[in-house]
Structure 1
Amino acid sequence: MKSLTAYQEVKQKITADLVRGRFPIGQALPAEKDLSQEFDVSIGTLRKAVDELVAEGIVIRRQGKGTFQAEHDSKRQLYYFFHVVRHDADKKITPRVELASLNSALASREEAMKLDIKEGTPVWRIVNRLYLEEQCVMIDQITLDKKRFKNLTRTIFENRQGSIYQLYQVKYGQSVARTRERLRAGLAGKQFASWLELKPQSPVITIRRVAFNLQDEPIEWRISTVNTTQHEYFNELVV
């Protein structure tokens, strides 16, 4: 096994501290000088580790205030994880999300594989409808391991403050650090077609996404069905 460099070890230690809740949301991490002394590394090594965490969106620097764990507020959700726009504009419009159902179930083979759990493990299945300018344009089917998200209820989900990822982070200590997506063409079933104002079996795009936490563990499996009549999937890579 390839050994870690000094800055990679520091990065792992900071990430572990974030997972344990050592640095609560809204509270700045210790100064770089203090962290470098704690980890017994140079300022340059410490800074390289923090730079990578910033680049990965795990922490953010605020001028004159310090370094903080990134929060899944509505702005971050919109610009990091939301990818549907109108055909005629790149402008990202703030979405409205409406819960259709939240039920307890047992994980199917696919759900178990995506969440790295055993088939038949208790899970939550959530169906969400996403609206842009009062038009339902996307339907999310979300699966969560009940062990990670204990005592989740419809009331908790609907009355959350902020985005779904913010709920995961604040109430359950599960911060989404990255996602992995695959796109497929598909056909809308009767119920989804009704919600999306389409004829049954109309063409749609499905986005199949796994979300990973700070420890790179899969915590959410989501299949999004998109009406592409007036909207399209959007992604932008900045290098």
Structure 2
Amino acid sequence: MKAITAYQEVKQKITRDIVNGRYFIGQALPAEKEFAKEFKVSIGTLRKAVDELVSEGIVIRRQGKGTFIAEHDEQRLLYYFFHVIKHDADHKNYPKVELVSFQSATANGEEAKKLQLKEGSPVWRIVNRLSLDGQCVIVDRLTLSKERFPTLTRSAFQNREGSIYQLYQAQYGQSVARTSERLRAGAASKQDAEWLNLKPGEPVIMIRRIALGIEDEPIEWRISTLNTECHEYFSELGA
């Protein structure tokens, strides 16, 4: 097994402290000198560890104030996790989300695999419609493990303050650090076609997304169906 470097070890320790609740959402990390002394490493080693956490969106630096545990505010969610815009548009709008159904179920084979559960494990299945400019453009089907979200209710989900990811983070300590997505062409089902103002069988884009936590644990499995008549999937990669 390849040995990890000093900064990687520090990064792992900070990550574990965040997961275990030592630091709360929006809380500042200790000053660099204090932190480096705790881990018995140089300031340079500490900074390298924190730099990686910043690049992964787990912590953020605020000029003149320090380094803080990242919060899922609306701006971060829009630009990091929502990738749908009008054709040839140069900006994004935050979608309006409507809850269609919230059901208790047992995980099928695909859900169990994606969420690293045993098939038949208890899950929540949620269906949302997302609208832009008054038009439904996406149908989201979410699956969550009941073990991870044991007290979630339809009322709590529907009447949450902020976004879905903010709910996960604020109420359950489940912070989505990144997502893994795969896109494929598909055909609109009868129900999705009705919601998306399409004819059954018309082409759609299927976005299959796993939302991953700070330690790459699967938090949410989501299949999104996108009407591409006036909107498109947008992604920007840095060099």
Alignment TM-score > 0.5, same fold = yes
Offset from partner CA, 1:145-190 (integer Å, 9 cap, x none): 0000011111111111111111111101110111111001001111
Partner residue of 2:38?
38
Partner residue of 1:218?
218
- In structure 2, the gaps of 5 or more residues are none
Partner residue of 1:96?
96
Tell me by how many angstroms 1:193 deviates.
Answer: 0.6
Tell me by how many angstroms 1:25 deviates.
Answer: 1.4
**Distance in 1 separating the partners of 2:183 and 2:90:** 19
Partner residue of 2:108?
108
Matched letter for residue 60 of structure 2: I
Offset from partner CA, 1:114-162 (integer Å, 9 cap, x none): 0111000000000011011111000110000000001111111111111
Offset from partner CA, 1:88-135 (integer Å, 9 cap, x none): 302101111111111000000000000111000000000011011111
Aligned length: 239
**Distance in 1 separating the partners of 2:26 and 2:208:** 32
Q: Does 1:193 align with 2:193?
A: yes
**Distance in 1 separating the partners of 2:64 and 2:202:** 52
Partner residue of 2:165?
165
**Distance in 2 separating the partners of 1:65 and 1:162:** 25
Q: Which runs of 4+ in 1 moved over 6 A?
A: none
Partner residue of 1:120?
120
**Distance in 1 separating the partners of 2:2 and 2:81:** 32
Partner residue of 1:204?
204
Tell me the TM-score normalized by structure 2: 0.98
**Distance in 2 separating the partners of 1:84 and 1:26:** 28
Q: Please, what is the CA RMSD of the aligned residues?
A: 0.7
Partner residue of 2:64?
64
Matched letter for residue 103 of structure 1: Q
Report the 3-state secondary structure (helix = DSSP H, G, I; strand = E; otherwise coil) of the residue aligned with 1:91: coil
Partner residue of 1:233?
233
Partner residue of 1:22?
22
Partner residue of 1:180?
180
**Distance in 2 separating the partners of 1:213 and 1:2:** 24
Matched-pair identity in %: 71
Moved more, 8-17 or 64-73: 64-73
